[in-house]
Amino acid sequence: MTAAAPHVGKDKLARIVATSVAASSIEWYDFFIYGTAAALVFPRLFFPADMPPAVAQIAAFSTFAVGFIARPIGGMVFGHFGDRVGRKKALVAALMLMGAATTLIGCLPSYQLIGVGAPLLLILLRFAQGLAVGGQWGGAALLATESAPPGQKGFYGSFPQLGVPAGVVLANLVFLLMTANLAPEAFEAWGWRVPFILSVVLVGLGLYVQIKLEDSPEFQALEEAKEIQAEGARRSPILEAIIKHPKEILLAGGSFVASNGCFYLVITFLVSYCTTTLGMDRPKVLWALLLGSLLAAPSLPISGALSDRIGRRAVYMIGAVLGGVWAFAFWRLVDTQDFWAMVAAITLASVWLNFMYGPQSALFAELFSVEVRYSGASLGYQLGAILGGGFAPIIATALLASNGGDSSIIAVYMAAMCAVSFVSILLLAETNKREHRTG
């Protein structure tokens, strides 16, 4: 059955979009500060002092990967409840969980104090972060896309995606401020904890979403039509999505491999590579990441709006092709150790990745019917996350070691991920002219 796509007035839509951007920005900030800390301080703080540095770095990146293993589980759990009780309630729960887990990471004792309990607690809280971010994306993205007017789903759906570069900027800015104002010993002793403890503000934002925002009009219309009332007669939304849309879930996951995997190589592995292999100053690398992310951010709404005009697939494939080609120039520019060359490398890499990420909210929403949309979109998204980003820093570290420190092998790895996404999106049907539907 096909239903008209309801939407809200401009004032309410602006509030929904602004809140979605704020929620995703702080949520991703929480998720990203872990990656920065894993590259900079976790190898020494949460693992034995006699462990070889390269092994400790891989161990730290392994705890980083735990968050990605948890993300599909979070997508399934929050997807189920997001389709049953609403996008807003699921988003609120995800924000609360992320705020609590990240704040507690900032309070963890080191390996020197409690031994093996330190990395175990770190893994547990990273798993909780992964559960939360696995549920957050679907809530923020669907609140925006399901509230947008017809013909503008790509544009409005791109705004929650702005949370990613905003989170990168916030995470790097906070670490830069801490390292600039603290001696290295003080930063390692307690300064790194401050960015984590600041995430307690997510609890307040979650309360705001619960009190001030209504659920998306498409979900409300579904409730009013009594199509989700007879829960006992219906399968779980996640099972319904898997049974009805296995192809869409798998290809959606494949389409996300490049933008997610290459992104984490740029924001996480790059920090470790530049400071350890190239011996660069940490602030220089963080500033390059911050500026590159800021300069590339406008390409998200631009690519979303473009996908409303020429199609999601076309914009996506442009990003995949140019991202794969640029990967080879990217590492050559980074290896110069020149600040502005690095900024240019990061900016253009981020622009091509944003051409895939910008239209993604609308694309993933349009692949699934309303009653299983949170489940299907979240599962596809998180499947791509674990296949792409979860192990990317570990794989890159191992590839670099096997190639004698030559970064060209990482460029090949990035190009391969872009090829996977290109083929996946090629096999999906175009969605930007579809009406949002039920049934």
Here the CATH number for the domain that contains residue 35 is 1.20.1250.20
Residues 6+ apart with CB under 8 A from 24: 136, 137, 140, 160, 161, 162, 163, 164, 166, 167
d(CA 339, CA 287): 9
Which of 287, 256, 267, 270 is CA-nearest to residue 167? 267
Residue 376: predicted pLDDT: 86
d(CA 205, CA 194): 19
Write down the H helix ranges in 146-233: 153-161, 163-181, 184-186, 193-197, 201-212, 217-224
Residue 228: predicted pLDDT: 47
Q: Which two tokens stand for residue 163?
A: 């949370």
The rounded Cα 197 to chain-centroid distance in angstroms is: 20
In total, how many domains does the chain have?
A: 1
Residue 3: predicted pLDDT: 45
Angle between helices 299-310 and 312-335 (to 10 degrees): 150
The 10 Å Cβ neighbour count of residue 115 is: 12
Angle between helices 163-181 and 339-357 (to 10 degrees): 150
Q: How far is CA 107 from CA 42, 99, 103, 191, 231, in A?
A: 13, 13, 7, 11, 41
Residue 212: predicted pLDDT: 67
433 is a domain residue: no
76 is a domain residue: yes
Residue 439: predicted pLDDT: 45
4 is a domain residue: no
Residue 435: predicted pLDDT: 52
Write down the H helix ranges in 225-311: 237-244, 246-264, 270-272, 282-296, 299-310
Residues 6+ apart with CB under 8 A from 85: none
436 is a domain residue: no
Residue 427: predicted pLDDT: 93
d(CA 190, CA 41): 11
Judge whether 14 and 156 are in contact, CB under 8 Å: no
d(CA 249, CA 383): 8
DSSP label at residue 369: -
Which of 68, 66, 128, 142 is CA-nearest to residue 99? 128
Range of the domain at 333: 10-427
Which of 297, 275, 396, 305 is CA-nearest to residue 347? 297
Please name the residue that has the structure tokens 């570069």.
165
d(CA 285, CA 270): 8
d(CA 291, CA 346): 9
Please name the residue that has the structure tokens 């735990």.
66
Angle at 279 (CA atoms; ends 325, 46), nearest 5 degrees: 100
Q: Which two tokens stand for residue 179?
A: 């390292």
Q: Over the stretch 352-402, which tens digit does the pLDDT of each residue have?
A: 999 999 999 889 888 888 778 888 888 888 888 888 877 888 889 889 888
Q: Which residues of the chain have pLDDT under 50?
A: 1-5, 228, 231-233, 436-439
Give the type of residue at 54: A
Per-position DSSP letters for 84-138, written without gaps between them: HT-HHHHHHHHHHHHHHHHHHHTTPPPHHHHTTHHHHHHHHHHHHHHHHHHHHHH
Report the SS3 class of residue 215. Answer: coil
Average per-residue pLDDT for the chain? 83
DSSP label at residue 192: T
434 is a domain residue: no
Q: Which two tokens stand for residue 242?
A: 């898997």
pTM over 0.85: no
